[in-house]
Amino acid sequence: MTFLKAQYEQRGPVPQDVIHAVPFQPPTLTDDQVLVAVVAAPINPSDVLTLTGDYGILPPLPAVGGNEGVGRVVECGPQAGSLKTGQLVLLPVGCGTWATHVVAQAKRLIPLPDGADAQQLAMLTVNPPTASLMLSEFVDLRAGDWVIQNVANSGVGSYLVQLARQRGLRTVNIVRRESAVAGVQAMGGDVVLVDGEKLARRVSEATGGAAIRLGIDAVGGAATDRLASCLAEGGTLVNYGLMSGEPCQISPKSFVFNDLTVRGFWLAKWFRTASRDAQTALYGNLTRLIASGQMRAPVHATYKVEQIKEAVAAAHAGERDGKILITP
């Protein structure tokens, strides 16, 4: 058997140029370790930013790509607890999941329901909790309230649409190209519009002049200001990404005359302060929704570890409808 991992020894502006598949030999297991064959691991925007050196946390080099995923237990150390060979497990955050196999401590592996879609569960760790927390942590929303977001066809965007619908919220979803509209509508988006001029007027017309108190921005640049212009007086704008590569722009009148609040969200920071009970409750609920098929994200394409350069290039390109997955 050939063991492969997607490794990088440097960072650079073209992410696919710095990463490559290399063979490795897993170490001999210690008593509490488990060898896991990776089933699926997504490529998130944060993973691409890590390769370019633009993310908030950068691992020491050399490093193996991939921060989340699922796998099946292949071999257990003698003190690996109740884990069994063949069991589907959630891999530890940041363990280098773009690989054929991962070695991890048994206590860091979370058993997952049998029979569930492994590719959907592979995307559990980052995007679903981000969407869920942005809907609950900043504005006290009630059933019937409206939320507006951009990049609605992204991983976070698709989960946000579905979670909002389950909570009785209504969504205005902004995309950057006409070809993305149908996919967001199919996910359950109430209003789907292409970003651009006179956005506030178009949003008001589509919602009947609804007062929108929460806006969620992943683009930055001028798109932030367009989203802010759609919010009601005293509303809150939450930014969690800079897909434009530009700093957020926002007009002073949004602060002076409309009394908006601008906040940032980073899941890693939430983990630092949230209680263990809060984390368990959040992931327990999200796991049930995904495992039961009540929530899912589109998958654009899958790649093997040896195709890591092509996979990262596809994830970096942006013109796609769904997540890129590594499926060893």
Task: Dihedral sign for Cα 149, 153, 154, 156, please.
Answer: positive
What is the rounded radius of gyration, in angstroms, for the C-alpha atoms of the chain? 20
Contact 65, 55 (CB under 8 A): no
Q: Quote the CA–CA distance of 85 and 23 in Å, as a whole number.
A: 24
Q: Quote the CA–CA distance of 121 and 113 in Å, as a whole number.
A: 10
User: What are 187's two structure tokens?
Assistant: 């996910």
Task: Dihedral sign for Cα 94, 100, 105, 108, please.
Answer: positive
User: What are 12's two structure tokens?
Assistant: 């650079």
Active-site residue among 8, 55, 159, 303?
Answer: 55
Backbone angles phi, psi at 30, to 5 degrees: -80, 175
Residue type, 85: T
Tell me if residue 292 falls in helix, strand or coil.
Answer: coil
| Residue with tokens 């099946």, as numbered in its chain | 72
Q: Is 174 left (phi over 0), alpha (psi -120 to 50) or beta?
A: beta
| Local structure of residue 26 (DSSP, 8 states) | P
Contact 187, 210 (CB under 8 A): no
Pairing of strands 170-175, 191-194: parallel
Q: Quote the CA–CA distance of 300 and 317 in Å, as a whole number.
A: 12
Active-site residue, 159 included = no
Short-list 115, 120, 125, 187, CA closest to 325 = 120
Catalytic (active-site) positions: 55
